[in-house]
Amino acid sequence: MGNFDDEGVLRPRERHLVSGSKGQEFDRDSGGPAGLIYGFILIWLGNFSVFICIGELASAVPTAGGQYHWVSLLAPRSSNKFFSYVTGWLTVIGWIAALTSVCYFVADLILQLVSLNDVNGTYAREGWHGTLLLWALLLLCVFINVFISGALPTIEVLVLIVHILGFFGILIPLVYLTPAHNSAKDIFSKFHNDGAWSTHTLAFFVGLQGNALAFVGTDSVVHMSEEVKNASTEVPRSMLLSLAINGTLALGMLFAVLFSADDIPHLLQDQDAQTAPFLRIFQHAVGSKAGATVMVSIIVLLEFCSAMGCLAAASRMTWSFARDRGLPFSRALSMIDKRSTIPVISILIVTLFAALLALINIGSSIAFNGTISLVLEGFYLSYLLAVALLLWRRLRGDLDDGPGAAMQADAETQTQTEVQEKRLSWGPWRLRGALGVANNAIAIVYLCLIIFFSFWPTQVNPDLQSMNWAGVVTGGVAAFSVLYYVLLAKKSYTGPVVEVDPRAL
């Protein structure tokens, strides 16, 4: 594999555009255009703080396990197995939900293009349409990850080029060809609060969920660490580079869409439209369905590549947790194909569960959205545990300044319980002194803020349609993982296995 974070580098810009067919990208209920812009900047800066912390951990211990491995290293010995296990479950389920979510966005975009180009206007979308298309996309992702995995580094480079060129391919027609533009006052100073919250400030914080979701997956390269050369330096560098590139492009695209949106209130009030507001903005800007189709097709291609990278990261995370006996049928899930040296069984199982999740969409889109809402909560809770424990260890002075020795273990293979009491050391990449402590604290505050508001609905007194089911889904997964740990995994799960001496990395 290459060392560039293709999943993290693709998602934010496209995700902002495909965030919902009912106008979620403008977030009228929770902030409006101004709230979206300022919220994006807040989320972007918050993610920089978080992924600097994640980079410090990845530099010290570059492992496919990521968060659950770090939690096991940093937590007190009396509870490290338990916290590591719950973190592992949240991360695995979060990645499976993320894969389902990205494939669903791609399928949704394709179906919207069908609606846009339906000459007779007779096409009526059904839930099973999206599910079948999602399955087809999953199969294509499996084919690429299993049979041509050796070409993935080349594909990643080509996708990055298309990503940057596609940005200008969409931005220039959108800005130049739009007949009229909104004023700066309309974009930067007008907040909306159609969710009937008590203040605009509260509406703003409730509306942060969409922006936060756009950056989920930035740590995908962490779970490829054991396939990356010089991972202790390349993984942190890759994450922050992708975050910088993505944030810049996404902010530019956000400005372009908002300034080019003709009659934003009308776009949001058209609840019967088969296409998303951003697609109608494209059509209005270029004056043709064909032009809008070409622009959206670029996004479809890039989002599919994001799904491809998402499957790679999800399967490595699943393989790593299974290797440490954290999942049912761990022996099979931790097998590596001798020919390709990739976890084929983990790839297939992750794909199977994503396909099963997609079945929910046939019966109820409400239940489906509630299920994939685990993406944000699963990732952010795992980040919070790892970063909070890092700060605790930092303040206690438990981390040595030795060069690159993430763990003072001499044996090639030891369980974490055998080395837990050994001194931990920083990797070659970190923030030093008070600056590092301050950044850890800022990241924790940011994560707590987003997690707290991620459970809120978009409006006061929600009905079944607008209810936020994230708390139910996240609580259910956490409860199941705790129950499974107490009944079965407590005996078999001993913590992450250290297979190589990190000083050799």
- The per-residue pLDDT for range 160-207, each reduced to its tens digit, is 888 888 888 888 888 888 877 777 787 887 777 767 777 888 888 888
The pLDDT of 326-353, averaged and rounded, is: 89
Neighbours of 187 (CB within 10 A): 20
The more confidently predicted of residues 8 and 483 is: 483
The pLDDT of 373-382, averaged and rounded, is: 88
* Tens digit of each residue's pLDDT (9 = 90 or more) over 477-496: 888 889 989 988 888 887 88
- Partner residues linked to 280 by β-bridges: none
pLDDT at 299 over 60: yes
Q: Alpha carbon of 63 to those of 54, 81, 176, 361, 499: distances in Å? A: 12, 17, 46, 34, 10
Least confident stretch, 27-31, 101-105, 119-123, 365-369:
27-31
- Partner residues linked to 313 by β-bridges: none
Report strand pairing: 497-498 vs 414-415.
antiparallel
Of the segments 179-188, 316-325, 437-446, 461-470, which one has the largest average pLDDT value? 437-446
DSSP letters of 414-464? EEHHHHTTSPEE--S----HHHHHHHHHHHHHHHHHHHHHHTS-SSSS--T
Structure tokens at 312: 């790679």
The pLDDT of 43-69, averaged and rounded, is: 92
pLDDT at 375 over 90: no
Fold of the CATH domain 6-504:
Amino acid/polyamine transporter I (1.20.1740)
* Tens digit of each residue's pLDDT (9 = 90 or more) over 300-322: 998 898 899 889 889 988 998 89
The more confidently predicted of residues 229 and 8 is: 229
Q: Which residue, chain included where needed, has tokens 């180009």?
A: 117
Report strand pairing: 424-425 vs 399-400.
parallel
pLDDT at 414 over 60: no
Q: Alpha carbon of 208 to those of 23, 94, 200: distances in Å? A: 15, 19, 13
Taking the C-alpha atoms of residue 453 and residue 292, their distance in angstroms, rounded to an integer, is 35
The pLDDT of 373-400, averaged and rounded, is: 90
| Domain-wise residue ranges, the chain | 6-504
pLDDT band of residue 57 (cuts 50, 70, 90) is: very high
pLDDT at 279: 82
pLDDT at 451: 92
pLDDT band of residue 23 (cuts 50, 70, 90) is: very low
The pLDDT of 295-302, averaged and rounded, is: 89
Q: Which residues contact 464 (CB under 8 A, 6 or more apart)?
A: 366
pLDDT at 11 over 60: no
pLDDT at 20 over 50: no
Neighbours of 152 (CB within 10 A): 21
With H, G, I as helix, E, B as strand and everything else as coil, classify residue 262: coil
pLDDT at 27: 53
Taking the C-alpha atoms of residue 322 and residue 242, their distance in angstroms, rounded to an integer, is 28
- Partner residues linked to 400 by β-bridges: 425
Taking the C-alpha atoms of residue 124 and residue 96, their distance in angstroms, rounded to an integer, is 29
The more confidently predicted of residues 145 and 182 is: 145
pLDDT band of residue 500 (cuts 50, 70, 90) is: very low
pLDDT band of residue 450 (cuts 50, 70, 90) is: very high
* Tens digit of each residue's pLDDT (9 = 90 or more) over 199-228: 888 888 888 887 888 888 888 888 778 777
